[in-house]
Structure formats: structure tokens, C-alpha cells
Structure 1
Amino acid sequence: MAFSLCTKNLFLYCLILAIFSTFSSLHASEPPLTLDYYKSTCPNVLDIVRKEMECAVLSDPRNAALILRLHFHDCFVQGCDGSVLLDDTITLRGEKKAPNNKNALKGFRIIDRIKNKLESECPGTVSCADILTVAARDATLLVGGPYWDVPLGRKDSKTGGYELTDTNLPTADEGLLSIIAKFIDQGLSVTDMVALSGAHTIGMARCVNFRKRIYGDFVATSGITNPLSQQYLSKLKSVCPPLKGSDNNESAMDYVSPNLFDNSYYQILLRGEGLINSDQELYSSVLAIETKKLVAKYAENLVAFFEQFSESMVKLGNITNRDTYVNGEVRKNCRFVNT
């Protein structure tokens, strides 16, 4: 029985990888972005974003992780269109209050400040989607991560994707096959998935996202064991007791260097001490055929991780929505559609 189950899972794994090229070709046909999009209309855009991000990260290094997460959640729903920034109105249901985003996303005021500066410099010119994409790059760089050139020219969506947050965004207790499928659906490869997961080298996770992992509920339902050392487990249980009243208590996803963008996240996975189950699955799952090798590679080679992360972040940022590109706008306020 165990053999047949494993064979079935391996077949599904191979099938998912086989259809990757089909999804990739669909995303590759989206409108092109350019590095010099604002050269004549707002030449100081990159300097303005960088200065505001420098202030934000200097005041609190955790702001880097907040912006990076915000960018990821934006791009996985309707493409990188700034839809995650929209507030609810009578006629629009945004993404902020969706179950997978509520209490998980912050950093909106940082984007507001950048937008206000740019509206003073070049009114109605720079999209909120572009601001968020550049801010994510600068956030990474400011805490020790790599640099990459950001193609620009995105438009802002006039709609939110509340329902899509449930189907598109990976969750903390999700299995490896499901996570792979969600990345492939965005035109991202298994390599992209492992590299982008490395963003968890900074930032925090709420107790609600790792309670099942530390109390064994995931093992009970999946049969997969991702061990934690007794010392680390005891520490996590003190932060996250069984009672659900502690849902918003937080712990660093990378307890070694939570405010430094490095490869210690992968080294933690090698020890079986990834905080959330979906991270540890990259190394410990019985299906982690390709991902396990990549985790080991990035744990050993910081340069290799940085190079791939930069490449994968460009691919992530290039996920666009053709409808938004044609019918979108440049919002005056990132929280609301123009009137």
C-alpha cells in the first residue's frame, strides 16, 4: 500500500513538472516591460523609492520583509497589478481582508509615503504596481540581499481578486505538490519556488501558521515527519501555546539571522528546523526529489542563491495581467481606484 501511494505521488509530481512549459509559454506572451520606462516622464523614480525605503528599513529592519511579502501576495493574485493595495469600498472588494491576507500583510503606509512623494514629483505617472516591485528590490538590498534590475511599465488594476487569494497563494501547512502546482500556475519553475522561498530568511511568522507543525497535527494528517530539535520545539511552544488566543504571537522564520538576507534559512532546513511546514517540505518531504538538492545547494553556496533569487524575482515581477495592461490605470492613491 505504501509503495503504491508513493508511486502515485511520484507520478503526480512528474506530471506537474511536465506541464510547466505550457504555463510558462502562456505567461511569456504578456506585454513586455522595460528598464527605461520612466526615463523621460519621471527620471528620479528609482532614487525616490530607494530613499523612502532606506528610511523605512533604518527605522525598523522588519519593514524589508513586510514589503517583500506584500509584493509576493500582489503578484500571485491577478499578476503584479497593485490589487493587494486596494481598500474595500461599497463597489469593490479588495484582497486585504481575505483569509490568507488578513493579519498577514503590513507595510501599506510605506507604499503610501512613496506614492505621495512620486505624485509630488511626477503626478499621475508611476503606477503603484511599479512602486511595490521596486520597493521589494530595494528592501532586499537594504538588508544584505542581492541587487537586480527591475523592468517597469505595469498598470494598476481597477479590481481586486478576493477569491483568488484562496486558490493562488501557498499556505503554511500546504504539501509540496500543491505548492509546486501554485508556482507553476504562475509560470514559475520548481527552481524559482525554492529560490523565492529563501525570502523567508527575513521576517516573522504568526503562531497560527506554525502551530500545527509544532504540535504534530500535520504529521497526524499526512504521515510526514519533519523533526524539530527538542530545544527549539520547547522555545516555539512557549511562544505559541496550544490555545488559539495566541494566534498572532510571532517567531522569526530564520532564527539565526532574522534581519539579514542570507542563506541561513536553507541551513536551518537541513537541520529539520524550518518554522513552517511548507518550508520544511522543500527538504523533508518524500517527494522533495529536486527541491532537496536545491536547498542543499543554496545552503552551501550564497552566491548561487543570490543569483537565482535575483533571476526569479524578475520573473515574479514580470507576471502581468493583460486585461490590466490594456484597461488599467495609474492610481493617484494606491488604496483607491481613480474616480
Structure 2
Amino acid sequence: MATLNLFSVFIIYFAIVLRFVNSQGLEVGFYKKTCPNVEKIVKKAVVDYVSIAPTLAAPLLRMHFHDCFVRGCDGSVLLNSTKSNQAEKDAIANLSLRGFQVIDAAKSALEKQCLGVVSCADILALVARDAVSLINGPTWQVPLGRRDGRVSILSEATTNLPTPFDNFTTLKTRFGSLGLSVKDLVVLSGGHTLGVSHCFSFGSRMYNFTGKGDMDPNMDQKYIAQLKTKCKPNDVTTTVEMDPGSFKTFDTDYYNLVSKRRGLFVSDATLLTNKQTKDYVLAQLSSRGSTFFEDFGVSMVNMGKIGVLTDKSGEIRKKCAFIN
């Protein structure tokens, strides 16, 4: 049994190493010969939709995040369920994702100019960048060359995605297992400057934090009183802005909220429980976010290298919602 366990550990270790070696196959300008207008074409699709509906930016960013954290950045979150298998898209955490039509529009336009060349996984990475940039956020160079995965399983999304209820130890473990640092953790959490959340994602902090009908002492009590006017016990339909007043704009206000104990989630509050993450939060306040935009681009590139398929692995899907 001990020999078997050791062998299993070796296989898991080898798989992790192989995933990060594969990430080296990505490069900026990957399509410069095969599809030179790829970024221009993708950006037009993003502009066409997000300029009309800025609230799409948040779910498009989350879509890339949720894709990478399950099977790596392989576009598996875009796949529809089949008769024999429920896909990642159907996991509770992914039901609020929107903007699949943006990916489809970009893919359709690319297929007309570069048939069978650009992966859906690469499109998703570019769309996330362009959506953030379009709402006054940073931009960054996206290394490309990902190929699309052929597998998407609901249970894997349920198991592997970080949750709003995670404490620091859990978050550090989740991020670390994928090669992301504590700095990546606190920087990527800044993405909560965008979008809204359902009340059930933080309702226990207001009404039943320890199972005794109490409130979370780590959340500003005046803020809880405000939230209770919007979210009733067991409310599963109402949504609340994660960054009140600027939830459609990418900015550094999130860190201000966290410092005041007004982050909606336990996973937001936990950033104040670790010295490194707390120091980062406070540094963005004192410097008015002087490094956040640059840091965010770096961490997005780091995240975009998780578990990628390159070379002859995977496929280039004809349509992003279906395997070939």
C-alpha cells in the first residue's frame, strides 16, 4: 500500500510539473503568421457588446478565472452539457456567468478569416483582458498558443473553484496548488471591484455566522445593517453590488472596502488576516493604487498559464460550446 501511495504521489507531481512545462509553449504574437489580426478581431467583438452593456465585463473576467481554476485555461467552461455528462457551465458557481455570446461572436469572426486556427481558450483570455481595459482598467500582453480541452465536468468545478466562504489557508492552498503566489491571490481578489453578488453568497455573515443566529464580527456592523435592508434571510434572488457606486468600473476601491471591513465575502475579509495580503491592501490605499493595475496584468498572465494545452494536445474547436 505504501508503494502504491508513493507511486500515486509521483504521478500527481509529474502531472503538475508537465502542466507548467506546457505553459512555456505560450508566447505573445503566437498567431502573427497564421492569424495576424486576431487581437483586433477579438477586441471588436468585445467593444460591440461591452460598450452597450458594461455589466458584461465582470462575468467575462470571471469566466476566464473559472475556466483556469478547474482544468486549466483550456476553454472547458465554455462547453455545453451532453446527454451523458453535465459540464462545468452547469455548476452553481458558474450559473451567473454571462457573455458567452461575446466569445461566440469573436470565434465566428475569426473562423471567417483564419479557419481552424485560434482556440476558444485563447479567445477567452483575450476577451477577459479587453473587457477589463474597456471599462477603464489596465491592459496587458496576453501570451497565446492555448488549445481547447475536450472534457468538462460539473463536479470538478464544484470541487476546484475558490468559494466566497474560503478562509486564507484554504485560498492559499487552492492558489498555491496551481502555481499562483499569495501576491497573485490578493491581486486577483481585486477583480471584485467589478460586478454583483447574490445575497446567499454572504448571507450567513449577516444572519447566522456560527449557526447561532449571529453576525460576523469581522464585518462592519453598520454595513451589515445596510445590507439587511436589501438581503432578507435565505434570499436567493437579490443581488448586491460588490463595489457599491463603481461596480461597472475597474478601479482600486475594492481595497478601500476591504480595509473598512466592508468586503462582501469571507474570502474578502480574510485578506486582513495574513500579514502579506493585509500589507498589500494597505499599500494600495496609501499609494492610491499606484501598483495595482500593473500587478493585475502580471497576475492575469500568471493565471492564464495554468494547465494549458499546447502543441498537439487538445484541439481547436470549430464552435466553442462543442467539442469537434
TM-score (norm 1): 0.85
Summarize the Cα distance change of 1:123–1:221 in structure 2 as closer, same or farther, 3 Å threshold: farther
In structure 2, distance between residues paired with 1:35 and 1:147: 14
Amino acid aligned to 1:248: T
Specify the alignment match of 1:71 in structure 2.
64
Q: Give 1:90 deviation, angstroms.
A: 2.2
Decide whether the 8 Å contact of 2:73 with 2:304 is kept in 1: yes
Per-residue deviation, residues 229-269 of structure 1 (Å, max 9, x unmatched): 42x32331122100x3x312111111141111111000011
Per-residue deviation, residues 91-115 of structure 1 (Å, max 9, x unmatched): 44311112332x2222112111111
Decide whether the 8 Å contact of 1:27 with 1:186 is kept in 2: no
Specify the alignment match of 2:290 in structure 1.
303
Q: Does 1:140 align with 2:127?
A: no
In structure 1, distance between residues paired with 2:22 and 2:213: 40
Q: Does 1:204 align with 2:193?
A: no
Q: Give 1:83 deviation, angstroms.
A: 0.1
Decide whether the 8 Å contact of 1:254 with 1:265 is kept in 2: yes
Q: Does 1:238 align with 2:224?
A: no
Specify the alignment match of 1:333 in structure 2.
319
SS state at 1:331 partner: coil
Q: Give 1:320 deviation, angstroms.
A: 2.5
In structure 2, distance between residues paired with 1:305 and 1:220: 39
Summarize the Cα distance change of 1:218–1:201 in structure 2 as closer, same or farther, 3 Å threshold: farther
User: Unpaired runs of 5+ in structure 1?
Assistant: 1-21
Higher mean alpha-carbon deviation, 254-263 vs 146-155, is at: 254-263
In structure 1, distance between residues paired with 2:216 and 2:114: 54
SS state at 1:205 partner: strand
Per-residue deviation, residues 299-333 of structure 1 (Å, max 9, x unmatched): 333221111111100000111245x7543111111
Name which of 151, 170, 175 aligns with 2:167.
175
Summarize the Cα distance change of 1:124–1:24 in structure 2 as closer, same or farther, 3 Å threshold: closer
Q: Does 1:97 align with 2:83?
A: no
Query: Number of residues paired by the alignment?
Result: 309
SS state at 1:334 partner: coil
In structure 2, distance between residues paired with 1:177 and 1:221: 25
Q: Does 1:36 align with 2:23?
A: no
In structure 2, distance between residues paired with 1:222 and 1:214: 7
Decide whether the 8 Å contact of 2:88 with 2:153 is kept in 1: yes
Amino acid aligned to 2:39: L
In structure 2, distance between residues paired with 1:62 and 1:330: 29
Per-residue deviation, residues 49-78 of structure 1 (Å, max 9, x unmatched): 111111211111111111000000000011
Summarize the Cα distance change of 1:219–1:60 in structure 2 as closer, same or farther, 3 Å threshold: farther
Specify the alignment match of 1:6 in structure 2.
none
Name which of 254, 257, 262 aligns with 1:265.
254
SS state at 1:59 partner: coil
Q: Does 1:188 align with 2:170?
A: no
Specify the alignment match of 1:13 in structure 2.
none
Summarize the Cα distance change of 1:330–1:92 in structure 2 as closer, same or farther, 3 Å threshold: farther
Amino acid aligned to 1:333: K
Summarize the Cα distance change of 1:221–1:331 in structure 2 as closer, same or farther, 3 Å threshold: farther
In structure 2, distance between residues paired with 1:49 and 1:235: 40
Name which of 126, 147, 154 aligns with 1:155.
147
Runs ≥4 in structure 1, deviation > 6 angstroms?
22-26, 221-224
SS state at 2:28 partner: coil
In structure 2, distance between residues paired with 1:111 and 1:125: 15
In structure 1, distance between residues paired with 2:181 and 2:59: 24
SS state at 1:100 partner: helix
Higher mean alpha-carbon deviation, 47-56 vs 125-134, is at: 47-56
User: Unpaired runs of 5+ in structure 2?
Assistant: 1-13
In structure 2, distance between residues paired with 1:215 and 1:327: 48
SS state at 1:251 partner: strand
Amino acid aligned to 1:116: S
